[in-house]
Structure 1
Amino acid sequence: MTALSRVVALDGDTFADAVWGREPLLSRAADLGGPGGFTGLLSPADVDELLSRRGLRTPFLRVARKGEVLPASRFTGGGGAGAEITDQVRDEDVMRLYADGATLVLQGLHRLWPPLIGFAGELGAELNRPLQVNAYLTPPDSQGFTTHYDTHDVFVLQVDGVKRWCVHPPVLAGPLEKQPWGGHADEVAATAAGEPALDVVLEPGDALYLPRGWLHSARALGGRTLHLTVGIRGLTRYALVEELMALAAADPALRTTLPFGLDVADPDAIAPELAATVAALRDWLSSADPAALAERLRDRVWPAARPAPISPLAQLDFADALSGTDEIIVRPGLRWQLTAAPDERVTLRAPGRELTFPSFCAPALRVALDGHAHPVAALPLPDQEDRLVLARRLLKEALLVPAGSG
């Protein structure tokens, strides 16, 4: 079972072609992993563990009541002797706020809770998108947030309890991150007062996909409810426009100073300059280099998703004791690119770093990073010592891990 098949009751191609970015999709537990399909990711007992024994700090916890986010000072304080921090979650305060009707939002769990770290890594790799995972614990018969929209697609995974979701069409199709719902609050409220496009009750094991921009609100029915929200950070064509405009700064015609004394508030005065600028921009765009654009997009996207965690001490011990029979594999979720460099060398790019190697290492690098486990002795280099040196360097750079360590 793939990560996507755990949250969508359609095959991947159908979901991509007919649903993704277009319309909501409800998938029932019976067509996924059953009522307990998501409890292995985060259970109510796990929430207690996080709130009381993990030294949780802000911003990993938000608390909301009646649509308003409460100040962190209401539920955080000093960590006690030996902990030089002032924003550690105080479990007794959280308990009182929750009992008084506040919703608890555990944020960034894709970096914090092991089962969700693994799940987020698998789903992010399938979607080829960075993502985030939050959990929402809502008290009985309560609503944490009023009707709103997100600027990213989401999967809602019902873990525990029962929750009613009302979903309305967008007031702004495909909103960008710089276009949050607060800027359209009146339109959102007016639309939310009408008939919903989807009015459903999510029970344990159910999943709901919402494209960005779709309005939604949720209320716990009966007892408490716990659900996960997986937010998918997608790129838009506007992102390409932003990067193209950054590259366009290299064009002298687009850096030309406007005429002396020009009244930029006068439409008639600005019209010829606008026409000349559009013409210059059109000329530049016709010769824009896809490779340069791809490089900027790489630097923009790669840092947004971290690869799978490593065990630093075990990793170093493995590298130091490495032998030809040991198996290595690329670190799950690692993004990399190998290109030719001057002076008979190759450059290996990964998030936050560039490494150079002699060009004869290129075939061995491609094998080591191809996503399959390989014994060190199988790397295509003529000398065993060279294989060990290369593998050790990649392990100590955290680009490879011991096979089976995940």
Structure 2
Amino acid sequence: MSASRTAVQDTGTEDAGVLESRLTRLSRAEFAREVWSRTALLTRGASDFSDLFSAAAVDELVSRRGLRTPFLRVAKDGSTLPEAAFTAPAGAGAAIADQLDDTALWRAFADGATLVLQALHRTWEPVAGLVSALGTELGHPVQANAYVTPPDNRGFDAHYDVHDVFVLQIEGTKRWTVHEPVLPDPLRDQPWTGHRAAVAEAAAHGTPHLDTVLRPGDVLYLPRGWLHSAEARGEVSVHLTLGVHAWTRHALAEQLTRAALAALGEDPAARRALPLGAESLGAELDLVRTRLLAAVAEADPEPLFHRARRSQARPAPLGPLAQLTALRGLGPRSPVRLRPALEPRWEGTRLVTRVGWLDFAEADLAPVARLLDGRIRTAGELGLERAERLLRAGVLVPADR
């Protein structure tokens, strides 16, 4: 498939996901088949992102929100500045030493430094909504950072990430140079710094896979491992990077191994001590290998795997005061719905979510299961006692009709 795709007219399809409607103009199935984890993809004019982020949002976050590290990094010419260079206490009643110092940040920015606002899915609501929707659609955890680069400057040298990225150009323009991987599909513990020489050689002498300028509304997708560097043109560049932390077969193998080792803990032969001295391990290794292979063949890693997946993202926000008001005013006609981004999953009669688990009687399973489609229901449909229990647990939230 071509590395560049020109936007088409909006089809008006109501069930189009974030991937299609805002990022790539490809359906989830098309993206999975043709692009995901395979190749770079440039989509011109993918969407108008002015509702998500802006230069004004940068100023507000830096100067008025009391952000602390690590919600911001500062980089210049490939190096990251020490936190002490842009943080300070904020005066009486807020004397926490690592709050952002807007004056120091201004001076660094004026001197050519790039501001990196990290974890925007925790600090800027419009970005949080997009990240939550994309994470649900992809089935992999997603984070968001913003990169703010002064004119004709760059923040980082050529490198690769250990997660996939969607780059959303918000304001200004930025030239991107992209090369194919020197290490395809790197794991999270295989950063580019371990292949620094190969990365530098490829960036300096290799033929770019893509050399292009991103303009507002453009989106660039890069699988993990793809080399890239970027430089702002003649004006301030603001772009969002959505990082997709892909679950891998290696991660599944880790959970399978953990499940097998847990099973071996119940095997008396596996718990037995090695012989004194243990100079020769041949016979012991044969026995352990046999037992381990048998345990791997029988182990079920899914509960551990899904528990790990749930832990990598947060559910939708919950307001304690609104929750208490809903609980105190609960009646048969009270509208409620499943809290978004909970990753609910049945394990027998146990409902497991990102906020914990609840056991149910057989008679409760059908009405509770109806909630999992995310539609608005009344507390009366569910049963007032069940609704109250789920509201208290933070699984249900009040809904507007």
Kindly indicate whether residue 232 of structure 2 is the aligned counterpart of residue 220 of structure 1. Answer: yes
> 2:202 and 2:27 mapped to 1: Cα distance?
32
* Alignment CA distance shift 1:259-1:133 (3 Å): same
Q: Which residue of 2 aligns with 1:319?
A: 327
Q: Which residue of 1 aligns with 2:164?
A: 153
> 1:333 and 1:199 mapped to 2: Cα distance?
37
> 2:129 and 2:121 mapped to 1: Cα distance?
8
The answer for unaligned runs of 5 or more in structure 2 is 1-15
Cα shift at 1:9: 2.6
- For residues 136-189 of structure 1, the C-alpha deviation after alignment (integer angstroms, 9 at most, x for no partner) is 000100010001111111100000111111111111111100111101101111
TM-score, normalising length: structure 2: 0.90
Q: Which residue of 1 aligns with 2:135?
A: 124
Kindly indicate whether residue 177 of structure 2 is the aligned counterpart of residue 169 of structure 1. Answer: no
Q: Which residue of 1 aligns with 2:59?
A: 48
Kept in 2: contact 1:152–1:231 (CA 8 A): yes
Kept in 1: contact 2:17–2:28 (CA 8 A): no
Cα shift at 1:273: 6.3
RMSD between superposed Cα atoms in Å: 1.9
Q: Is the partner of 1:7 in helix, strand or coil?
A: helix
> 1:377 and 1:243 mapped to 2: Cα distance?
41
Kindly indicate whether residue 363 of structure 2 is the aligned counterpart of residue 360 of structure 1. Answer: yes
Given candidates 233, 255, 259, the residue that maps to 1:247 is: 259
Cα shift at 1:276: 5.7
Q: Which residue of 2 aligns with 1:3?
A: 18
Q: Which residue of 1 aligns with 2:37?
A: 21
> 1:201 and 1:207 mapped to 2: Cα distance?
11
* Alignment CA distance shift 1:152-1:319 (3 Å): same
Kept in 1: contact 2:327–2:388 (CA 8 A): yes
Given candidates 67, 79, 92, the residue that maps to 2:78 is: 67
Q: Which residue of 1 aligns with 2:250?
A: 238
* Alignment CA distance shift 1:261-1:191 (3 Å): farther
- Residue 11 of structure 1 aligns with an amino acid whose one-letter code is S
- For residues 330-384 of structure 1, the C-alpha deviation after alignment (integer angstroms, 9 at most, x for no partner) is 01111222344xxxxx4222224222333322222112333111122222xxxxx
Q: Is the partner of 1:286 in helix, strand or coil?
A: helix
> 1:254 and 1:42 mapped to 2: Cα distance?
56
Kindly indicate whether residue 393 of structure 2 is the aligned counterpart of residue 401 of structure 1. Answer: no
- Residue 353 of structure 1 aligns with an amino acid whose one-letter code is G
Q: Which residue of 1 aligns with 2:388?
A: 392
- For residues 198-222 of structure 1, the C-alpha deviation after alignment (integer angstroms, 9 at most, x for no partner) is 1111111000000001111101111
> 1:339 and 1:167 mapped to 2: Cα distance?
44
> 1:376 and 1:286 mapped to 2: Cα distance?
45
The answer for unaligned runs of 5 or more in structure 1 is 264-268, 341-345, 380-386
> 1:254 and 1:165 mapped to 2: Cα distance?
54
Q: Which residue of 2 aligns with 1:138?
A: 149
> 1:234 and 1:258 mapped to 2: Cα distance?
39
> 1:258 and 1:157 mapped to 2: Cα distance?
57
> 1:15 and 1:221 mapped to 2: Cα distance?
30
> 2:354 and 2:335 mapped to 1: Cα distance?
24
Q: Is the partner of 2:173 in helix, strand or coil?
A: strand
> 1:53 and 1:102 mapped to 2: Cα distance?
20
- Residue 375 of structure 1 aligns with an amino acid whose one-letter code is T
- Residue 157 of structure 1 aligns with an amino acid whose one-letter code is L
> 1:294 and 1:48 mapped to 2: Cα distance?
44
> 1:239 and 1:254 mapped to 2: Cα distance?
25
- Residue 331 of structure 2 aligns with an amino acid whose one-letter code is S
Q: Which residue of 1 aligns with 2:211?
A: 199
Cα shift at 1:270: 6.8
* Alignment CA distance shift 1:42-1:358 (3 Å): same
Kindly indicate whether residue 221 of structure 2 is the aligned counterpart of residue 209 of structure 1. Answer: yes
Given candidates 311, 336, 343, the residue that maps to 1:335 is: 343
Q: Which residue of 2 aligns with 1:302?
A: 310
- For residues 90-146 of structure 1, the C-alpha deviation after alignment (integer angstroms, 9 at most, x for no partner) is 111100000001000000001110101111111111111111000000010001000
